[in-house]
């Protein structure tokens, strides 16, 4: 049985932290000026998009179709906002990342609405899964930040006991290139249900989850190999968060990372040419 260590505002070096993350440890950091800046940007865009309503109670004011239409414009606008690529290097280097060797993906804005509202498509409520079932490299690290206050009823949940234990799943159905070609662009069309076939557990979970809370702008860092999920939102308030992924070039080159216990997907979220990472990953500048 593996129970992950949880590190609060750790002073470990980046190499020591990565080694611990690949063993299944979880890291939580207090807000920094850079993380606050990213969350402030997200909050400003969310507030403007849903005005004059409170974004956290938008389920009381808009139909699911109307909310999905707002998110279909809001989320890509955030992803491609020029400030994001400026702030992410500040966040990573401020927490010990190497500007020469850490690559980051574009940040995603996530929304988690009450369980009887919008949980499909562009607001997909993720079931227990590993990112490595979705063609993520075993050295991928996830950085997760809440934009508003969160509670145990609307946060992330982890299942540390399964970090190094294989689980029945159908990850062999997933190919990243094919998903991008066929399914990603249709997310906003799936409002009341989501018919896109995705990797899922094929059996029950017999372990209690672990839920970590941090203030807006706080950061939770975890391995993409961790089994985690979007907690079914029973808080009565929408949850908005930001996440992005990183890899360290040395770990990519040496195939260092978490162990692959049960991922059988194909393709990769990384593209490599002439020794450089390309596609959705960008070098820190």
Residue 60 clears pLDDT 50, i.e. is over it:
yes
| Chain mean pLDDT for the chain | 88
Distance, CA of 41 to CA of 48 (rounded, Å): 11
Give the pLDDT band (50/70/90) at residue 120.
Answer: low
Lowest mean pLDDT among 2-11, 164-173, 230-239, 271-280: 271-280
Q: Which residue has the higher pLDDT, 207 or 91?
A: 91
Lowest mean pLDDT among 55-59, 95-99, 180-184: 180-184
Distance, CA of 173 to CA of 238 (rounded, Å): 31
Cα diameter, the chain: 51
Q: Is 147 left (phi over 0), alpha (psi -120 to 50) or beta?
A: alpha
How many C-beta neighbours within 10 Å does residue 44 have? 10
The tens digit of pLDDT for each residue in 92-102 reads 999 999 988 99
The tens digit of pLDDT for each residue in 202-260 reads 999 988 899 999 999 999 999 999 999 999 999 999 999 999 999 999 999 999 999 99
Residue 2 clears pLDDT 50, i.e. is over it:
yes
Residue 277 clears pLDDT 70, i.e. is over it:
no
Distance, CA of 218 to CA of 145 (rounded, Å): 6
**Mean local confidence (pLDDT), 157-161:** 95
Please tell us whether the domain made up of 6-283 is placed in CATH 3.30.70: no
Domains of the chain by residue range: 6-283
**Mean local confidence (pLDDT), 11-24:** 97
Backbone angles phi and psi of 232, in degrees to 5: -55, 120
Distance, CA of 41 to CA of 285 (rounded, Å): 20
Instruction: Please answer whether residues 116 and 12 qualify as being in contact, where contact means their C-beta atoms are separated by less than 8 angstroms.
Output: no
CA atoms within 13 A on the CB side of 50: 23
* Alpha carbon of residue 217 to chain centroid: 15
């Amino acid at each position: 049985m593996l129970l992950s260590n949880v590190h609060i505002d750790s002073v470990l070096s980046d190499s020591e932290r990565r080694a611990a993350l690949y063993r299944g440890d979880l890291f939580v950091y207090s807000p920094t000026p850079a993380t606050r800046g990213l969350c402030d940007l997200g909050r400003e865009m969310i507030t403007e998009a849903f005005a004059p309503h409170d974004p956290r109670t938008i389920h009381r004011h808009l139909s699911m179709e109307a909310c999905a239409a707002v998110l279909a414009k809001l989320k890509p606008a955030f992803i491609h906002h020029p400030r994001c690529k400026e702030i992410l290097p500040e966040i990573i280097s401020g927490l010990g990342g190497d500007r020469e060797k850490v690559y980051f993906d574009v940040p995603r804005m996530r929304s988690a609405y009450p369980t009887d509202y919008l949980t499909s498509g562009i607001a997909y409520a993720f079931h227990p899964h590993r990112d490595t079932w979705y063609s993520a490299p075993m050295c991928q690290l996830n950085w997760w930040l809440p934009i508003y206050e969160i509670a145990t009823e609307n946060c992330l949940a982890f299942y540390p006991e399964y970090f190094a234990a294989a689980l029945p799943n159908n990850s062999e159905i997933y190919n990243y290139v094919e998903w991008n070609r066929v399914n990603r662009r249709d997310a906003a069309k799936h409002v009341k249900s989501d018919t896109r076939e995705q990797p899922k557990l094929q059996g029950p979970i017999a372990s209690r989850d672990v839920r970590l809370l941090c203030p807006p702008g706080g950061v939770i860092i975890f391995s993409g190999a961790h089994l985690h999920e979007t907690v079914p939102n029973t808080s009565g308030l929408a949850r908005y968060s930001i996440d992005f992924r990183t890899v360290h070039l040395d770990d990519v080159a040496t195939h260092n990372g978490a162990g692959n216990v049960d991922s059988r997907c194909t393709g990769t979220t990384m593209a490599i040419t002439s020794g450089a990472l390309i596609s959705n990953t960008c070098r820190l500048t």
